[in-house]
Amino acid sequence: MTALGLLLDASVVLLLVALATRLLLTRHLFEAIVLFVSYGLTLSLAWVRLGAPNIALAEAALGAGVTGALFLNTYQRLAERIGDGAKSPLLEDDGSQDPPSWFKGLLGGGVILLGLGAGWALIGAGRRPAFLPHEIAARLPETGVQNPVTGVLLNFRGYDTLLEIAVLVAAMAGVWSLDRGSRRFGRARGEPDEDPVLHALTRFAVPVTVVTAVYLTWVGSTEPGGAFQAGSLLAGAGVLLTVAGILPPPTAASRPVRAMVAGGMAGFVLAGIAVLPLTGQFLHYPEGWAYPMILGIEALLTVSIAVVLVELFVDVPAVPEPDPALESIDPSGDPLGRALRGGEDS
Amino acid sequence: MPIELTVTLVMEVVSGLLIVAGCLFFLAGTVGLLRFPDLYCRLHALTKADTLGLGLIVAGLVIRNPAWPARVQLVLIWMLALSAAATVCHLLARSSLAAGIEPIREPGGASAGVTPAGEGR
C-alpha cells in the first residue's frame, strides 16, 4: 500500500470515529440527522477502500441517501407539529430525562469492552485462511451468474434476500395502515408555482437515472450492481418526478402501485415454488435456468424496491392531531401528542 | 529528449496543476461554508466549490486517464453533479426566502429573520 493510500485510509477511519462519537453525543435531532448522512457517506468511502463496491453503492444510496431523506422528512413533520420556536425533548434533549451517570458509565464501559473484545477476536486470534471465498468461487458456475455477491444473495442465500424484500413490503403496509392524511408533494400540472429549474433538472436527470438503473440491474449478474442499488436509483428518479409535480405521488389507492409493491416478493415466492417439482427444494433453481430466473427476480425486485422507497418518502404519515374521541375514552391518551408537548403531564 | 516523453511530462504537470487548483476551490468552499454569516453567502461559497472545483479535478483526471470510456464517464459525472448542485442551491435559497429567512443586507449587520434550523446552538 502506498503512503498516500495509508494516509487516506487513516483519515477515513478517524473521520468515522469522530462522526460516530459526535452523532452519539449530540442532543439536537437535526444535527444528528446531518451527522448520520455524513457518517453514511464516509462509510461508503471506507467500503470503496476495502474493495467492496457493492456495499459502497448500497450504503451511499440507501444508508445515507434514502434513509437521510426519510429522517429529514420526519424531522420536518415533527417540527411542523410542534410549532415555530417551541422546545420539545423530541427535537432537542436537555438531558433532564437521562439515567444516572453511574449507569451511563457502566453502559459505556460495557460497550467499549465488547467492542475491544470483538476487535481482539477478529485481529488478535491469528490469521485463519479464508475458506468462504474459495468455496463460493468453486461453486459460482452453478449459480448462473458471475458476480459472487449476486450469486450469494440470489442463489446460495436466496432466503435472506426474500426476507429482506418481505421486510420492505411489511414496512409499506405499516405506513399505509398508519396513514392519517399524508403530505402531498408537488402541484397540479401546469400550475404557475411550478419551479422551472427543478423541472429542467428532472427532465434531464430522470432519463439518465433510469438508463443507469436498468444497467445496474443487468450488470448485477457479472459485476457490482443489483436490485437494491438500481432500485434506490430509480427511487431517486421517482422522488424527483413527484416533488417536481410531474407525476402524482404513488398511493395505496392506486392498483398499479399496489401491484408493483407486491410484485417483487410475489415473483420471488412464485419462482421459489415453481422450481419445487423440478428440484424438490424451495428456491433451488434447476440447472440452466438459474440465470434467467435470477435476472427476472432482480428486475421485479428493482421495481418493488423503487416504488416502496418513493412511497416511504412521499407518504410520510401525518403526526396525528390529538383525538378528542380518544381523550374521552382514555384521559391519558394521545401519548405521541404528550411527548410532543414536552411530557408536561407525565 | 524524445517528443513523446516531453508531451507526457507536460500533460502530467498540467493535470497535476488542475487537480491542485480544484482542491483549492474545495478548500475555499469549505472555509466559506464554515465562516460566512448567512445561508445565502454559504450557498454561494459551496456551489463555487462544487462546480469549479469538481470541474478542474475532472479536467485533470481526464488528461491523466488514457481510456476514452473513463473520460466520457468523468465528464458525465461532472455534468450531473453540476446540474444537481445548481438546482439544489436554487431550491434551498428559494424555499428559505419563502420561509422568511432574510438575507444579510449590509456587511456585519444582523439578519432580521429567523436563523436556519440547527444553527441556534
pLDDT tens, residue by residue, A179-226 = 655 555 544 444 445 678 888 888 888 998 999 899 988 887 777 778
What is the average per-residue pLDDT within A81-92? 70
Q: What's the confidence (pLDDT) of residue A179?
A: 64
Q: What's the confidence (pLDDT) of residue A15?
A: 95
Would B115 be classed as within a structural domain?
A: no
What is the average per-residue pLDDT within A261-267? 90
What is the average per-residue pLDDT within A157-173? 87
A74-98 burial, b for 16+ CB within 10 Å, e for fewer? ebebbbebbeeeeebbbbbeeeeee
Cβ atoms of residues A259 and A172 within 8 Å: no
- What is the value of ipTM here, to two decimals? 0.71
Q: What's the confidence (pLDDT) of residue A164?
A: 87
What is the average per-residue pLDDT within A239-268? 83
Residue A240, pLDDT above cutoff 90: no
Domain of B83 in residue numbering reads as: 3-98
B39-48 helix and B3-35 helix, angle to the nearest 10 degrees: 170
Q: What's the confidence (pLDDT) of residue A58?
A: 84
Amino acid letter, residue A345: D
Would B108 be classed as within a structural domain?
A: no
DSSP A7-43: HHHHHHHHHHHHHHHHHHH--BHHHHHHHHHHHHHHH
pLDDT grade for A1, boundaries at 50, 70 and 90: low
Residue B80 contacts A, CB cutoff 8 Å: yes
pLDDT grade for A345, boundaries at 50, 70 and 90: very low
What is the average per-residue pLDDT within A54-81? 84
Q: Kindly report the backbone phi and psi dihedral angles of residue A28, in degrees, each rounded to the nearest multiple of 5, phi listed first.
A: -100, 125
The cell numbers describing A307, all together, are 416504488
Helices (H), ranges, A220-289: 227-243, 255-274, 276-279
**Residue B86 to residue A198, Cβ atoms within 8 A:** no
* Interchain CB contacts (distance < 8 Å): A and B: 29
Residue A324, pLDDT above cutoff 70: no
Residue A317, pLDDT above cutoff 70: no
Q: What's the confidence (pLDDT) of residue A65?
A: 84
Across A25-29, A74-78, A244-248, B109-113, the highest mean pLDDT is recorded for A25-29
**Closest Cβ opposite residue B80 in set A34, A79, A205:** A205
Full pLDDT tens readout for chain B, 121 residues: 677 788 888 888 999 999 999 999 999 998 988 888 888 888 888 888 878 899 999 999 999 888 889 999 999 889 888 888 888 888 888 888 887 788 877 665 554 444 444 443 3
- Return the closest-CA partner of residue A226 out of A302, A146, A289: A302
pLDDT tens, residue by residue, A107-142 = 989 999 999 998 888 777 666 666 777 777 777 777
Q: How far apart are CA A315 and CA A309, in angstroms?
A: 10
Would B110 be classed as within a structural domain?
A: no
Residue A95, pLDDT above cutoff 90: no
DSSP 8-state code for residue A321: P
pLDDT tens, residue by residue, A20-67 = 999 988 888 899 999 999 999 999 999 999 888 888 888 888 888 888
Would B103 be classed as within a structural domain?
A: no
- Return the closest-CA partner of residue A147 out of A279, A52, A234: A52
Q: Give A-chain residues touching B94 at CB under 8 angstroms.
A: 195
Q: What's the confidence (pLDDT) of residue A145?
A: 79
**Residue B80 to residue A30, Cβ atoms within 8 A:** no
Q: What's the confidence (pLDDT) of residue A37?
A: 94
Would B59 be classed as within a structural domain?
A: yes
Q: B114: distance to nearest CA of chain A, Å? A: 10
Total of domains in chain B: 1
Would B32 be classed as within a structural domain?
A: yes
Percentage with pLDDT > 70 across chain A:
82
Helices (H) and strands (E) in chain A, counts: 15, 0
**Residue A197 to residue B121, Cβ atoms within 8 A:** no
Residue A11, pLDDT above cutoff 90: yes
Would B119 be classed as within a structural domain?
A: no
Would B107 be classed as within a structural domain?
A: no
Q: What's the confidence (pLDDT) of residue B114?
A: 45
Q: How far apart are CA A172 and CA A175, in angstroms?
A: 5
Q: How far apart are CA A151 and CA A137, in angstroms?
A: 10
Q: B83: distance to nearest CA of chain A, Å? A: 7
**Residue B86 to residue A197, Cβ atoms within 8 A:** yes
pLDDT grade for A14, boundaries at 50, 70 and 90: very high
Q: SS3 for A154?
A: helix
**Closest Cβ opposite residue A30 in set B80, B90, B117:** B117
